[in-house]
Structure 1
Amino acid sequence: MTDAITPAAIPASAAPPRRDIGIKRRYAAERRFRAYGIAAISFGLLFLFLLLWSVVSKGYTAFQQTTITIPVEFSEQIIDPDNERQTDPRKLMTANYPNVARNALAKVLGVSTDDRAALREVNGLISDSIRTQLRDMVIANPAIIGTTQTVSLLAHGNVDSIFKGQVDLTVGEQNRRISDRQVGWMNELSASGALAKQFNAGIFVNGASSRPEAAGVGVALIGSFYMMLIVLVLALPIGVAASIYLEEFAPKNRFTDLIEVNINNLAAVPSIVYGLLGLAVFINFMGLPRSASLVGGLVLTLMTLPTIIIATRAALKAVPPSIRAAALGLGASKMQTIFHHVLPLAMPGILTGTIIGLAHALGETAPLLLIGMVAFVANYPTTPLDPSTALPVQIYMWANEAERAFVERTSGAIIILLLFLLVMNVGAILLRRRFERRW
């Protein structure tokens, strides 16, 4: 007989099998990877929040403007002392309207018109842009000459900054741009309700100005609209046509491979290179005017084309080959297959790529600087050939200004640009969902 062999008892403190150790390590690695991902997203959201907070906290005040609402006497002795407006209407263009506003404010504050030093300080409370405001009122209705009208005058940029709490008044008078007497007048006007903040519609409609309280992005918005329209009209059909040919019709050889490589490389070329190209070709060679929206639109079209071509080709590739095979099998021609079946199914990706390309072009600054769109333009452009500027260039110009009030104008313009970009990206998402089809 053989003795029975009993298995040895396994101590409770023995190590677990190697299989259990491997599973625990994999679970630990997954937890670490998940933690790294959450940390990366958290850091990204934190920096995004800090960026938006920095812009919004400095720029939201740009959508309010301090005004002084007082009765203004349109004195005929100042505007038209010789009564020549019937024979020479140009006299109304050159009248001394700042004195009209200054005298009206001095009367409200009880300042004598003989006190020149006090009048200079009174004049420092109102913006120089009231010249245009009062002139336009008189030209629109000359009958107001000799009457008294209640007018809301723009306050000076320094007054606006102080009234918004952006200036520390505890510092010495010699270290700020406004005197103690002017601060007292501000308190008096504020107590009577004459000095108040109103919605600043001027930031949307005014053009460039050396006075921050009168500066706006109206001209820049029109210039950006012209450029985006040119980019859309040129880049979309050219980009889609090139993509369809390369993806559906072009033979696969070294030449088409070279074209594809160059398109991919052009998408990564710095935007300032496109500005140099536009300066050399459109301005120096073709003789197109500098600072024109047409030139900016052509430059941005060249920059946007690679993005649209790449996105369109990716959308065409995403259409299942069975769609093409079914259409060809039912007797459709190659053209009918592409334009009746493939292209409609690829439309969501094409529209998404186009809107993203337009959003990218809207935020470009470097190529526009090289073609002279940093000009000081105060009048609205009527055609794409007129001098203009663009929204990102306007932000760049304001950021270089020395006046304190331009800081909030810069941040306010950034908010407007971000809103436009947000609308365009949301539009891309909605269009994609609207036209998207599932197989």
Structure 2
Amino acid sequence: MSDPAASPFANERALKRLRRRRAADRRFKWYGRMAIGFALAALTLLLASIATQAVSAATYHVVSFDLDFDEQTFGEAKPGDPPQVDKVYGLVRADLLAQFPETAGSRPLRHELTALITRLAVLPVARELARKPGEVGTVRRVELPLSDDLDLYLKGANARHLTVPIGRVEAKAADGVVTVKAEDAFNRLIAAVSLEGIEASGAPDTGSILMTAGRSTIKLSALGQSSATGRLLTGSLQDFQTNPVRARLIPSPETERTVSDRQIAWLLALKAEGRVSRVPHWSLLTHTDSTQPELAGTLAAIVGSLLTLLVTASLAIPVGILASIYLEEFAPRNRVTGLIEVNINNLAAVPSIVFGLLGAAVFLGAFGLPRSAPVVGGLVLALLILPVVIIASRAALTAVPQSIRDAAFAIGASRMQTVFHHVMPLAAPGMLTGAILGMARALGETAPLLLIGMVAFVAEVPRGPTDEATALPVLIYSWATQAERAWEPMTGAVILILLAFLIAMNGVVVFLRRKFERRW
């Protein structure tokens, strides 16, 4: 029997079966690796698409203003007075009108100019002035966010444009028409205009060619080999004599974009003066929701989510853990407990929107709790994750060896002492893991919160569980349904914030398991 050739398994048929089994094992390993690779690739693609969308919201452009809060305009301010938004915005408006005097005789032009900065952009400044009335009579430098359309234009996401350097030119004006001359300097510009398919006619239904030098801009209506004609949008011809010229090609017609040529010219003038800068978008975390994308923030939604999770945890975790202990360690095995266990397993698979309907009917309709409040959202989400917590906690209790219980009984411990002194400490990591994973699921739920009214517009940070609030998933839904393009990167940024919360909660799960886990 020691001779391999004499073994009954050393035949061609057995060896063939052995080779097939080994080949099947190798294929199974490769299938597993492919499945993991596919999952990682899909996750990477998802995160990359969200991060690419959200990167634009990480920064935004602001315009600097030196505002004189004179006593004649603001009077004797006292602490507690309402914010004087109109007066502060009046200073901003007066500064812009003084900067661009060509708008003085035209109301539509003044409206276009003041649209660079929205009225609500000065609200934080007005609130700070109301809190510190001693600043009345001083001059302060403030930075106000640029309009979302112009912010997207500077980021290249709105009204795509191409810049072509021209160099030095000669500019003259006659009867309101500006003529720009330069020998062989327009060849590159003509090639770019031909490539982009722009007609240099100056009509609003065609693309635009803007020629900029310093803080002055000309819109071209005709383009030749050595000369071009157009009209001055802002500034003076002196800038074209002393500064290098750059041409800006905008293929999309003025009637099909949200920023006009004059607004672009004014924006370039402010940028040439160093008054426009790109800064980190910290207000995304410190401001509350707003109707203007450049002013909107997530602070109210973050606080609302934390208050909702606090109510959820205070109800679902203790009730779920105690219910699992009773069902696993103390409840008799009969039809009643069997029916309860079946219903718990069934509730874990019920769609979340059903719990939203239940919360709207019971908590809002029957009990009359406040609508759009974290206390109601927390109660609904507690009912949602309660079966998950119970099932996970029971699995953790079942995983504790029976020998632990037998040893505790052998030294005279009662059933209560056995469970809480010996079984619970060993099952705690699994129970906490199930509880935190249930909380992570509650953090990402949207449908139940929509049905209880937490989709409301909330402009103030909630101070308690009964105040009106919203949550991060609901804010994502609300911003994603907005029509303006500026909301797209903002939505991606909120998704990343929500993912950061989920990753932090999962990190806590990993830490607890490694710290308290016991191997048998």
Give the TM-score, by structure 1 length: 0.91
What pairs up with 1:243-254 in 2 under 5 angstroms? 243-254=324-335
Match of 1:137 among 124, 128, 140: 128
Shift in Å at residue 147 of structure 1?
3.6
Secondary structure at the aligned position of 2:30 is classed as helix
Q: 1:93 aligns with which of 76, 84, 96?
A: 84
Aligned with 1:216: secondary structure? coil
Pair 1:400 & 2:481 matched: yes
Q: CA deviation at 1:161?
A: 1.0
Question: Is 1:43 matched with 2:38?
Answer: yes
Query: Aligned ranges for residues 43-82 of structure 1 at < 5 Å?
Result: 43-75=38-70, 79-80=73-74
1:177 and 1:74 mapped to 2: Cα distance?
A: 33
Contact 2:80 2:131 in 1 (8 A): no
Alignment of 1:298-337 (within 5 A): 298-337=379-418
- Paired residues of 2:121 and 2:295 also in contact (CA < 8 A): no
Partner of 2:188: none
User: 2:187 is matched with which residue?
Assistant: none
Residue deviations 1:111-165, cap 9 Å, x none?
5655534322221211332231231132123343444311101111112111222
Whether 2:15 is the aligned partner of 1:20: answer: yes
Cα distance in 2 for partners of 1:427, 1:238 equals 21
Q: Name the SS for the 1:277 alignment partner.
A: helix
The answer to whether the 8 A contact 1:97-1:130 is kept is no
In the other structure, the counterpart of 1:360 is: 441
Q: Does 1:127 align with 2:122?
A: no
Inter-partner Cα distance in structure 2 for 1:98 and 1:57? 34
Shift of 1:19: 1.5
Q: Helix, strand or coil for the counterpart of 1:374?
A: coil
Shift of 1:89: 7.6
Alpha-carbon contact 1:85-1:91 (below 8 Å) kept? no
Kindly tell me: are residues 387 and 265 of structure 1, through their superposed partners in 2, closer, same or farther at Cα, counting changes over 3 Å? same
The aligned residue for residue 435 of structure 1 is 516
Correspondence for 2:370 among 289, 292, 295: 289
Pair 1:342-2:423 in alignment? yes
Bigger proportion of residues as strand: 2
Instruction: Give structure 1 regions of 4+ aligned residues with deviation exceeding 6 angstroms.
Output: none
Distance (Å, rounded) in 2 between the aligned partners of 1:133 and 1:110: 28
Q: Report the alpha carbon displacement of residue 181 of structure 1 after superposing the two structures with TM.
A: 2.0
CA distance in 2, matches of 1:17, 1:122: 89
Q: Which amino acid aligns with 2:27?
A: R
Q: Provide the C-alpha distance between the structure 2 equivalents of 1:40 and 1:84, rounded to a whole number of angstroms.
A: 71
SS at match of 1:129: helix
Give deviations 1:265-311, integer Å, cap 9, x for gaps.
Answer: 10000000000110111000000011011000000000111011001
Contact preservation (8 Å) 1:209, 1:215: yes
| Cα distance in structure 1, aligned partners of 2:22 and 2:376 | 58
The separation in 2 between residues aligned to 1:339 and 1:197, in whole angstroms, is 58
Give the percent of matched residue pairs that are identical in Structure 1 and Structure 2: 47
Q: Which structure ranks higher in relative contact order (CA pairs < 8 Å, sequence separation ≥ 6)? A: 1
Report the alpha carbon displacement of residue 357 of structure 1 after superposing the two structures with TM: 0.3
User: Are residues 1:218 and 2:209 paired?
Assistant: no
Instruction: Give the unaligned 5+ runs of structure 1.
Output: 1-15
Contact 2:393 2:434 in 1 (8 A): yes
Shift of 1:74: 2.9
Distance change in 2, residues 1:138/1:34 (3 Å)? same
Tell me, yes or no, if the aligned pair for 2:84 and 2:126 is still in contact at 8 Å.
Answer: yes
CA–CA distance in 2 between the matches of 1:315 and 1:90?
Answer: 58
Counterpart residue number, 2:279: 198
Secondary structure, in 3 states, of the residue corresponding to 1:72?
strand
Aligned match of 2:139: 148
Q: Distance in 2 between matches of 1:277 and 1:139?
A: 45
Which of 12, 29, 43 is residue 24 of structure 2 equivalent to? 29
C-alpha displacement of 1:90: 5.0
The 8 Å contact of residues 70 and 136 in structure 2, kept in 1 or not, is answered as yes
- Using the alignment, how far apart are the partners of 2:284 and 2:124 within structure 1? 15
Gapped regions of structure 2 (runs ≥ 5): 1-10, 162-249
The one-letter code sitting in structure 2 at the alignment partner of 1:139 is A
Could you tell me how far 1:33 is from its partner in structure 2?
1.9
Does the aligned pair in 2 maintain the 1:103–1:113 contact within 8 Å?
no
Superposed CA deviations along residues 1-53 of structure 1, whole A, max 9, x for unmatched, are xxxxxxxxxxxxxxx82122212222222222222222222221121111111
State the distance in 1 between where 2:12 and 2:355 align: 64
Please give the alpha-carbon distance, in whole angstroms, between the structure 2 residues aligned to 1:107 and 1:201: 30
Distance 2:113 2:137 in 1: 23
Q: Which amino acid aligns with 1:149?
A: R
**AA matched with 1:202:** S
Aligned residues: CA RMSD? 2.0
Q: What's the counterpart of residue 183 of structure 1?
A: 264
Q: Deviations over 1:325-374 (max 9, x none)?
A: 11111111111111111001101001100110000000000001110111
Is 1:59–1:412's contact at 8 Å kept on the other side of the alignment? yes
Task: Please report how far the alpha carbon of residue 185 of structure 1 lies from its aligned counterpart in structure 2 after TM superposition.
Answer: 2.4
Aligned to 1:11: none
Q: CA separation in 2, counterparts of 1:93 and 1:110? A: 26
TM-score of the superposed pair, with normalisation by structure 2: 0.77
Contact 1:290–1:372 (8 Å) recurs in 2? yes
